Amino acid sequence: MDYTNSKLVIDSSKLIPGKIRWRSPSNIALVKYWGKYGQQLPKNASISLTLSQAATDTTISYSPKQTDKEIELEFYFAGEAKPAFAEKVEKYFASLTNIYPFLKQLHFRIDTNNSFPHSAGIASSASAMSALALCLCSLEQRFFDERLAPNTFLQKASYLSRLGSGSAARSVYPFVSVWGEHSDIALSSNLYAIPFADAVHENFKTFHDDILIISKAEKSVSSRAGHNLMEGNLYADNRYRQANLRLGRLNDAMRAGDLETFGNITEAEALTLHALMMTSEPPYLLVEPNTIAAIQKVQSFRKDTGHPLYFTLDAGPNLHLLYPNNIATEVKSFIRSELTPLCQDGVYIADRCGAGPEELDTNID
């Protein structure tokens, strides 16, 4: 797959200012991507649920470029100028000029907002980078009038998202996505994610993911640094083999709707991710005492009630609670009584699997 295209240069008569807007969700990995090589290529395949509430809403306003800077852009987050983010996005756009030479012809103003509270301890790179990549694919369509078939459009958006943030590649599809080559999964690729909702049991389309905000603090070690530390981790090769085996088993369980196997693998993956952090050189710890207290309560609830409530973790202390819709009433009341006391300011975000990104009207707030 090579998207390099020197022909995508805008005819100056068509350089008319305009806007493009996309809302793109975050996703939560079940088998984790942790360790990469080359240009954001994964050391193992991963699978995720696409979320619905936790999302980024991005508008790109474009006009002819004014200066001879290679990439000319301004970046606003929640209405405030953010020069540090502008610099990151400038670098990202500069890295894409072989694919989209027209990025050098335009001035960009990027306005972005997250649906989840700022500094809720929720990683926003997957939603933010996929929203940006989707805007770029729409720009291509607008200027070059090349109507890509919807699956080709999303595949390209996933490829571009990946170059911004690996996990963002999985955010472009509804409900369930797989990113990375796996021998059991036809058409899987390291270059982009593929849609996977049709391959799994219907149950997952209405699955819940309630996120307990154990701490709102920014994490002490970034994901980028964490991926890099896998280079020197003595367990790395076995980890990649383990992820491969687990994805094979999880694939079977999700197709069959076998929630017990699904939950056992998902929880094992969450703990493995953090074990890899603890076995890096230097080791580090991103879970908090209340993360562990919440895990123990979830496990007791499951034992006492028999309900299939499971947890996973991202690279941080906040616990994601995964469960099917038919036990939502019982789980919500358990969360309110037993788990919110463990959350910072009692906050949790009620999220669930979602239908994926949508292009929005630029005239509506």
Angle between helix 150-164 and 125-144 (nearest 10): 130
* Cα distance between residue 195 and residue 262, in whole Å: 19
Residue with Cβ nearer ligand PMV (8 or 89): 89
Which residues, other chains included, contact 264 with Cβ-Cβ below 8 Å and sequence gap of 6+?
none
One of 10, 20, 33, 335 touching ligand PMV (CB under 6 A): 33
**Least gap, CB of 223 to ligand PMV (angstroms):** 4
Size of the site for ligand PMV (CB under 6 A): 14
Q: Of the candidates 181, 195, 214, which has an alpha carbon nearest to the alpha carbon of residue 313?
A: 214
Beta bridge partners of 358: 23
Cα dist from 216 to 88, 119, 120, 213, 322, whole Å:
23, 6, 5, 7, 20
Q: Is 167 in the site for ligand PMV (CB under 6 A)?
A: yes
Specify the residue for token string 């983010």: 85
**Least gap, CB of 62 to ligand PMV (angstroms):** 26
Task: Give the x/- contact pattern for ligand PMV in 184-223, rule: CB under 6 A.
Answer: ---------------------------------------x
Q: Could you tell me which stretch among 30-38, 68-76, 142-150, 256-264 binds ligand PMV (CB under 6 A)?
A: 30-38
Q: Is 29 in the site for ligand PMV (CB under 6 A)?
A: yes
Site residues (CB under 6 A) for ligand PMV, limited to 295-314 = 314
One of 52, 59, 124, 125 touching ligand PMV (CB under 6 A): 125
Residue 141 φ/ψ, nearest 5 degrees: -65, -40
Q: Is 46 in the site for ligand PMV (CB under 6 A)?
A: yes
User: How many other C-beta atoms are found inside a 10 Å radius of the C-beta of residue 365?
Assistant: 3
Residues that bind ligand PMV (CB under 6 A): 29, 32-34, 46, 125, 165-167, 223, 227, 273, 314-315
